[in-house]
């Protein structure tokens, strides 16, 4: 199978390429090497055919001979401030539209799309009295006074976090999240119009080798690791008890390979790609500090404006329709990440 991987020089795309090549497929990496993500061309791109180019400039003839596209290219993370919005929309949504148009003209009908847990916004919650319910909005005054748990809008009691299934309401809370949901909608429209097939893989908190370091777009695991390398304690917002699903990049790559091999049950099928075992952000900071031999985390309170309290995934559908189950355990994965190479960006 000859597969174009957009964003192929990046954290996740490069691991997908490695797994495909290891089993005899032909991954081709397309990456613009934007300065916010890359200071140099990563050495590992030399193991694969590499095209330097931007998805927003993609032409149909560049897709000749490909069997499928694995679309990882995107600006990720919270960004710096709302002035990043045009860049997010241009790269994530306009770039996806250009890619889909080129795929249609080239006759390629299989797309694996990197989506994200951020499309859910807050996770799923239940009230002891009122059952499943969306939480009341989190007010800055609550954050300032150290009240972080979401409350029931009807009775005011604290809610219990539950696993989020794929049919949960979608409520993006950041510019990045809005663009990832728009990517799903664009891909779904393309599939319905062309008879194409789309897997939208909703990644949860990915960590592992080749994460970018020292950038406002990096994930929390990379920020903790960078602090520990400087001899500093990881800084944990809120009370450290916010729950996430941390999934190793090797498992993310495996899910992409499975998606390339499997026809989705619908024109577009979204699945959570997660470990299935929730941990707190404080757990991650503590485990990583221990593995690095560094200082214990500092819990500092506060929260970023677009942060949500708990998002933990239900892995059931991915196992059922994709045959995917994560293989890398949390302790094992964090210990590996403690010494793994990061990207200098």
DSSP 56-79: GG--GGGGTT-SEEEE-----SS-
Residues 219-246: tens digit of each pLDDT: 899 999 999 999 999 999 999 999 999 9
- Percent residues over pLDDT 90 in the chain: 86
Helix, strand or coil for residue 27?
strand
For residue 196, give the DSSP letter: -
The pLDDT, as a whole number, for residue 62 is 96
The pLDDT, as a whole number, for residue 34 is 81
Which residues are within 8 A (CB) of 267 and not within 5 positions of it... i.e. 6 or more apart? 188, 191, 192, 195, 196, 197, 198
Tally DSSP H helices, then E strands, for the chain. Answer: 10, 17
Structure tokens belonging to residue 120: 């859910």
Please report, for residues 52, 98, 205, 285, the alpha-carbon distance to residue 111 in angstroms, rounded to integers and kept in the order given.
20, 13, 22, 35
For residue 201, give the DSSP letter: E
Helix, strand or coil for residue 148?
coil
Q: What is the SS3 assignment for 265-305?
A: CCCEEEEEECCCCCEEHHHHHHHHHHHHCCCCCEEEECCCC
Residues 150-202: tens digit of each pLDDT: 999 999 999 999 999 999 999 999 999 999 999 999 999 999 999 999 999 99
Residues 291-316: tens digit of each pLDDT: 999 999 999 999 987 789 999 999 99
For residue 75, give the DSSP letter: -
Q: Are 308 and 176 in contact (CB under 8 A)?
A: no
List the one residue out of 146, 145, 180 whose CA is nearest residue 270.
180
Taking phi over 0 as left and psi of -120 to 50 as alpha, with beta for the rest, 203 belongs to: beta
Structure tokens belonging to residue 282: 């404080």
Residues 74-115: tens digit of each pLDDT: 998 876 688 999 999 999 999 999 999 999 999 999 999 999
Q: Are 224 and 169 in contact (CB under 8 A)?
A: no
Residue 328 has pLDDT above 60, yes or no: yes
Structure tokens belonging to residue 177: 């999240």
Q: pTM for the whole thing? A: 0.95
List the one residue out of 77, 121, 73, 65 whose CA is nearest residue 97.
73
Residue 137, Cβ density class (10 Å: 0-12 exposed, 13-18 middle, ≥19 buried)? exposed
From the candidate CATH numbers 3.10.690.10, 3.30.56.10, 3.40.50.720, 3.50.50.60, the one assigned to the domain spanning 2-123+164-338? 3.40.50.720
Confidence of residue 140 (pLDDT cuts 50, 70, 90): confident
Confidence of residue 39 (pLDDT cuts 50, 70, 90): low
């Amino acid at each position: 199978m000859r597969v174009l991987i957009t964003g192929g020089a990046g954290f996740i795309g490069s691991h997908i390429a490695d797994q495909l090549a290891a089993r005899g497929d032909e991954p081709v990496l397309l990456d613009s090497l934007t300065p916010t993500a890359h200071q140099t061309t990563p050495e590992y791109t030399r193991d694969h055919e590499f095209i330097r180019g931007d998805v927003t400039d993609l032409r149909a003839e560049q897709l000749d001979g490909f069997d499928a596209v694995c679309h990882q290219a995107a600006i990720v993370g919270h960004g710096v401030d709302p002035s990043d919005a045009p860049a997010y929309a241009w790269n994530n949504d306009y770039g996806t539209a250009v890619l889909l148009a080129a795929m249609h003209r080239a006759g390629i009908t299989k797309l694996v799309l990197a989506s994200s847990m951020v499309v859910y916004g807050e996770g799923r919650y239940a009230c002891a009295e009122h059952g499943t319910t969306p939480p009341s909005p989190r007010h800055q005054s609550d954050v300032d006074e150290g009240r972080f748990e979401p409350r029931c809008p009807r009775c005011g009691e604290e809610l219990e976090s539950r696993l989020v299934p794929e049919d949960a309401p979608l409520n993006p809370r950041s510019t990045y999240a809005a663009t990832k949901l728009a990517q799903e909608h664009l891909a779904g429209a393309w599939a319905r119009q062309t008879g194409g097939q789309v897997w939208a893989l909703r990644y949860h908190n990915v960590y592992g080798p080749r994460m970018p370091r020292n950038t406002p777009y990096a994930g929390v695991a990379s920020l903790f690791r960078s602090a520990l390398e400087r001899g500093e304690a990881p800084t944990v917002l809120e009370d450290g008890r916010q729950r996430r699903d941390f999934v190793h990049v090797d498992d993310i790559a495996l899910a992409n390979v499975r998606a390339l091999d499997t026809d989705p049950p619908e024109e577009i099928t979204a699945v959570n790609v997660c470990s299935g075992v929730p941990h707190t952000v404080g757990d991650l900071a503590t485990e990583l500090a221990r593995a690095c031999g560094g200082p214990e985390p500092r819990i500092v309170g506060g929260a970023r404006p677009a942060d949500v309290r708990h998002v933990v995934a239900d892995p059931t559908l991915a196992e059922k329709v994709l045959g995917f189950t994560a293989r890398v355990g949390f302790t094992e994965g964090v210990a590996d990440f403690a010494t793994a190479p990061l990207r200098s960006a």
